[in-house]
Structure 1
Amino acid sequence: MVDQAYYKKGFQKSISNTHTWRTVENSGKFVTSVIKPNFKMLDAGCGPGTITIDFAKNYLNEGGSIVGIEPTQQLIDSCNELKRKENVKNAEFQLGSIYDIPFKDNTFDLIYSHQVLIHLEEPLKALKELLRVTKPNGFICIKDADLEATVVSPKKYDLLKEFSILKAKNAVSTDTKAGRKLRSKAIKAGYDPKRIKSSISQWLLADDLEDKRKFAEMFIDRIKNSGEIAYQDEAKNEKIKQKTIDAYNEWSKDEDSIYCITNFEIIYQK
């Protein structure tokens, strides 16, 4: 049922693995101002399910529940494996597209969608679907990175940002300025601007060398195995891949280095 350009090459475990470190604390904290423990919740584009499970275990513990949807069976299987491992009863995972969410109108108290619109060819269509399945007075909580607002330091590691942007642009559908456009996209999709609350957050890797090592290892594996490309010319692409791997290895050991990814967020009350 894959209808999204992001999955045109199929499921890539090395890509999914770079999403497994995400939790409510580092990726969904803005939602905690509106979530209630009895909410019926949707995670639209749940990835490997780590955030979904975190919501279920730690934030929906008074009769609340959450459903995660993804359009690829491999991700659903991975999510269900994590669900069994964590012994979570109030989370479900099923195939579903954000373009055609398999639920009736006005179903959910809260919808969370993280780093999904950034990869869509038709983000307005997705935003309208999120609005359709949200209950009156319910909440839509969306977060998107702004890759071009990334800060890497010292300057010798600029290649890490450059490679991230180049491969994103070669992915066809990825919007490297998605974060800063998030509010505008919502308004164009019919969301009342007076009911949008905007915020911003960062993923910052700086102080903890072990965190930086793990981050670098994940992205080196992704560079080696995902099939993502920065340049169409094969020789040029292989050269920049190796340079980026070398830069990640050096960056991860450098106590002076930082990597900061800026994320924009909106909460919309229907």
Structure 2
Amino acid sequence: MNDEVYSHGHHPSVTAAHATRTVASSAAYLEPFLEAGMDILDIGCGPGSITAGLADIVAPGTVLGIDSSADVIAQAAEAHVDLANVEFRVGNVYDLDAPDESFDVVHAHQLLQHLAEPVAALREMRRVVRPGGIVAARDADFGAMTWYPAVDELEEWRELYRDLARGNGGEPDAGRRLPGWAAEAGFAVVEVSSSNWVYATPEERNFHAESWAERVLHSAFAEQTLERGIADQQTLDRLAAGWRRWARMDDGVFLMPSVEILARD
């Protein structure tokens, strides 16, 4: 994870969106299996909002959140300093600083899509989970995202994002690949489910569109596409304007599906 190129980066437009994620919105498929006293590893924890929710559920069990970015780990630690059963550390998903069989649950939300070697990451997660434990992963599938009304700039944005992510070694259509990756990593049992984020109210549309308009203009997405010559500033300005135009459409809906796995030996 430390050597990966993150297509989103950690611009405030990215971390602010990530900080709105909760167990209910992003890990509901896992929640029924959580019990007080469990120890959890949350990989790619970002600003720690899901991590904190997991900690509330399993207290007095402990939750360790790791991320490759020292800056975002500092942000998470500051935001959740009041939680005694949470620790945040910089870490590498390919080389976890933990003995074999250390955790009851290993959780990764929207992580595997950004990795050049997702199967290797899953094998390392498998190493540190206890017998009978769960490796839980949820990833979006950009190819399966849909929206209404049709907006040409959003279609162009998707193709540009997919080109960028694959150029960084990731797989933006990761959701559909999770079960196969888990099987290749050696898990004996892989339960598969899916859930969606949907943006349909004026407030939801504005939140989602502004987040992506800002990313298109100012985040690592902008920097990397410009550096690599796969977009110019005029294109990025046009894509951001397209997002904002979509947000003003009274009948606008954006559907973002994710696939989820619960993997066990």
Question: What is the TM-score normalised by the length of structure 1?
Answer: 0.90
- 2:98 counterpart of 1:103: yes
Name the structure 2 match of 1:203.
Answer: 197
Q: Equivalences for 1:79-158 in 2 at 5 Å?
A: 79-84=76-81, 87-155=82-150, 157-158=151-152
Q: CA deviation at 1:16?
A: 2.6
Is 1:224 equivalent to 2:229 in the alignment?
A: no
What's the counterpart of residue 184 of structure 2? Answer: 188
1:121 to partner: Cα distance: 0.5
Distance 1:245 1:130 in 2: 37
Q: Hey, what's the Cα distance between the residues in 1 that align with 2:240 and 2:83?
A: 37
How big is the alpha-carbon RMSD for the aligned residues of Structure 1 and Structure 2? 2.0
Deviation readout 1:10-54 (Å, 9 max, x if unpaired): 754433333222111111110012111221001011011111112
Unaligned runs of 5+ in 2: none
- Is 1:67–2:64 an aligned residue pair? yes
Kindly provide the amino acid, as one letter, of the partner of residue 190 in structure 1: G
Instruction: Indicate yes or no: 2:49 matched with 1:50.
Output: yes
On the 8 A contact 2:118/2:181 being kept in 1, the answer is yes
Once the two structures are TM-superposed, the CA of residue 106 in structure 1 deviates from its matched residue by 0.1
1:24–1:55 contact (8 Å) kept in structure 2: yes
CA distance in structure 2 between the aligned counterparts of 1:169 and 1:15, rounded to whole angstroms? 19
In structure 2, how many angstroms separate the alpha carbons of the residues matched to 1:39 and 1:113?
A: 16
Unaligned runs of 5+ in 1: none
Question: Does residue 1:5 correspond to 2:13, yes or no?
Answer: no
Q: How far, CA to CA, are the matches of 1:251 and 1:240 in structure 2?
A: 17
Number of corresponding residues: 260
Q: Does the CA-based 8 Å contact 2:187-2:264 persist in structure 1?
A: no
Contact 2:134 2:263 (8 Å CA) reproduced: yes
Q: Structure 2 residue aligned with 1:246, among 241, 246, 250? A: 241
Q: Secondary structure at the match of 2:142?
A: strand
Q: Tell me the equivalent position of 2:172.
A: 176
Q: CA deviation at 1:241?
A: 1.4
Letter in 1 for 2:205: K
Q: 1:94 to 1:264 in 2, by over 3 A?
A: same
1:60-85 Cα distance to aligned partner (Å, 9 max, x none): 23x1221100112101101011112x
Counterpart of 1:60 in structure 2: which amino acid?
V
- The TM-score, its normalising length taken from structure 2, stands at 0.91
Report if the CA contact (8 A) 1:48-1:78 is conserved.
yes
**What is aligned with 1:160?**
154
3-state SS, counterpart of residue 56 of structure 1: helix
